[in-house]
Amino acid sequence: MRINYIDNLEGWRSGFNFHIPIKVRFSETDMYGHVNNVSPFIYFEEARIDYLQDLGIVTDISNKDSAIIVADLQCDYWKQIYFNEELKLYVKVASAGNTSFDLHYMALKEDDDIVLTGRGRIVHINPQTGQSKPLTEEMKRKML
Amino acid sequence: MRINYIDNLEGWRSGFNFHIPIKVRFSETDMYGHVNNVSPFIYFEEARIDYLQDLGIVTDISNKDSAIIVADLQCDYWKQIYFNEELKLYVKVASAGNTSFDLHYMALKEDDDIVLTGRGRIVHINPQTGQSKPLTEEMKRKML
Amino acid sequence: MRINYIDNLEGWRSGFNFHIPIKVRFSETDMYGHVNNVSPFIYFEEARIDYLQDLGIVTDISNKDSAIIVADLQCDYWKQIYFNEELKLYVKVASAGNTSFDLHYMALKEDDDIVLTGRGRIVHINPQTGQSKPLTEEMKRKML
Amino acid sequence: MRINYIDNLEGWRSGFNFHIPIKVRFSETDMYGHVNNVSPFIYFEEARIDYLQDLGIVTDISNKDSAIIVADLQCDYWKQIYFNEELKLYVKVASAGNTSFDLHYMALKEDDDIVLTGRGRIVHINPQTGQSKPLTEEMKRKML
């Protein structure tokens, strides 16, 4: 696998601190007998929201001046995942720019083998205009 | 099959006029090789909303005095359904009471065999209090 | 609420021993701001499979003589459920017949208020013919 | 938007010939009022499978020597998508290598505005070993 958001796998992997447990549901499998390609994005979303809440970066939906949105998402499928497997879904801030930051994702099986990796950009916007706006100093501080 | 919401199957079946097409998606199957037990409720919801829009009974989410909600849902699985099958998903008003009405559902395969039947009660409520309220005369007229 | 599978609510409720935790995912909500009507059936399935595994009643998919299938499912929506709520999803064998048995479901919020109840029949079949067959003595013993 | 799989937007866009219709379902929205970030991957999968069937590149699940799998997927969210919108979901082969090929995706609203773009690599494997193997000449011919 050559994945353009991972330079050095060991270094990249050791940068994660936060994870949530995921137990694969039957409804998340498909007729090929393993987890459907759509399901990892459900896991990424759950991990992302828990992580942003943990960091304190979530923005209130009623806040008219500030919101964060998902600009893109991607997932690399390393190994098949099966019903009832218990995964650890890691997420971290990989980098931050002026108005956006990148989250990286990694899912491990019980034997700590990587089964999924991914990334996606989060953008800070003004929800009234839809335009991007600079990350606040507080946001940046919480990401460090 | 003995199903308590169907008295006479032929009469019951002939009472449907409205249907939508459903093409079974790959993500709706599971590792048993056919459609997952959850997926029919996705189909019922799509048919229900289209039908209520067609009848003109949908209530605007911004209406503070009147809303309709799903009180219960049930589905009987008659036959296995497979990826890529094209179903006809029928829905009808089966009965109406003072504050609620019952929708019935039926899914046919391409050979017109029944694969799913179901029902569920819709209740008219005041969204501010959550209390049920009488169906309006207009609602009743549109259901006939 | 009058629900035909619940005679006496307190007695019915006290009959549950097994439950799994459910944390409501963002993707399980809909534009009405609470959990979509389809999502409880995902929760029921997860609880059902864990419970049947716990009882030892699951049948191996490679077993050519014996399989259990879901014949019907129903759900009563008692209260709205919101993103991030942590539910306890209870399931129990409510009754058993010759070839099938009924599972009942109950979901409680953190304050132990009921938010969902449901039921569904499981049928023992011969997977080669699709015909129902008597529950084994072992199955019945495990259910008691 | 700067998206690394799109060089020239007009040229890229004009390269699509195949599309399927998608009508956004209620269950595909979330509490933010628009389509959940997971749902586009459901649409991509439906388009991908229909397209590969149309090209004649699908491999039979019972084929022990040849299978195609999704190696990665990504989606860029250009605009919010709402319940009941009718999208055109385009898919095309963008490039082919020795053992894999890249599919690109584009979703248009009714006014032909782009709402989603994406890509993902499909790999030809030996399902018994999981190892990649060269695309056949027939596969390559069908892609042109």
CB contact under 8 A, D27 and C34: no
Residue of D nearest to C37 (CA): D27
List chain A residues with CB under 8 Å of D72.
3, 74-77
Distance CA C119, CA C57 (A): 18
pLDDT in the model for residue D144: 80
pLDDT in the model for residue D109: 97
Q: What is the DSSP string of C66-132?
A: -EEEEEEEEEEE-S---TT-EEEEEEEEEEE-SSEEEEEEEEE-TT--EEEEEEEEEEEE-TTT--B
DSSP state of D26: G
The domain spans of chain B are 9-143
Here the tokens at position B121 are 């009660």
3-class SS of residue D86: strand
Tell me the CATH number for domain D9-143: 3.10.129.10
Question: Which of A26, A27, A46 lies at the smallest CB-CB distance from C25?
Answer: A46
Distance CA D123, CA D134 (A): 9
Residue of B nearest to D24 (CA): B46
CB contact under 8 A, C41 and B45: no
pLDDT in the model for residue D61: 74
User: What is the per-residue pLDDT across A129-138, written as a single tens digit (0 to 9) for each?
Assistant: 989 999 999 9
pLDDT in the model for residue C1: 57
* Closest listed residue to residue C142, CA positions, set C65, C56, C67, C64: C56
Q: Does C49 touch chain B (CB under 8 A)?
A: no
Q: Does C73 touch chain A (CB under 8 A)?
A: no
pLDDT in the model for residue A1: 57
pTM for the structure as a whole? 0.96
Is residue A18 within 8 Å of residue B29, measured between CB atoms? no
Compute the nearest-CA separation of A5 from chain D (Å): 13
User: What is the per-residue pLDDT across B73-95, written as a single tens digit (0 to 9) for each?
Assistant: 999 999 999 999 999 999 999 99
Q: Which residue has the tokens 């499978």?
A: D49
Average pLDDT in the B119-124 region? Answer: 97
ipTM (interface pTM): 0.95
Mean confidence (pLDDT) of chain B: 95
**pLDDT higher than 90, residue B144:** no
Intervals of chain C under pLDDT 50: none
Q: With bands split at pLDDT 50, 70 and 90, how would you rate the model's confidence at B58?
A: confident
Distance CA B132, CA C117 (A): 20
Is residue B103 within 8 Å of residue B122, measured between CB atoms? yes
| Angle at alpha carbon of residue D85, lines to B122 and A130, rounded to 5° | 110
pLDDT in the model for residue B1: 57
Q: What is the DSSP string of A106-141?
A: EEE-TT--EEEEEEEEEEEE-TTT--B-PPPHHHHH
pLDDT in the model for residue B74: 98
Is residue A126 within 8 Å of residue A59, measured between CB atoms? no
Intervals of chain A under pLDDT 70: 1, 59
Size of interface B-C (CB pairs under 8 A): 49
Question: Which of D26, D37, D38 lies at the smallest CB-CB distance from C30?
Answer: D26
Dihedral angle of Cα B70, B72, B76, B81, to the nearest 10 degrees? 40
| Angle at alpha carbon of residue A70, lines to A64 and A74, rounded to 5° | 180
Mean pLDDT, contiguous 10-residue spans, chain D (144 residues)? 89 97 97 96 97 88 88 97 97 97 97 98 94 95 90
Is residue C128 within 8 Å of residue C67, measured between CB atoms? no
**pLDDT higher than 90, residue B64:** no
Average pLDDT in the B53-62 region? Answer: 84
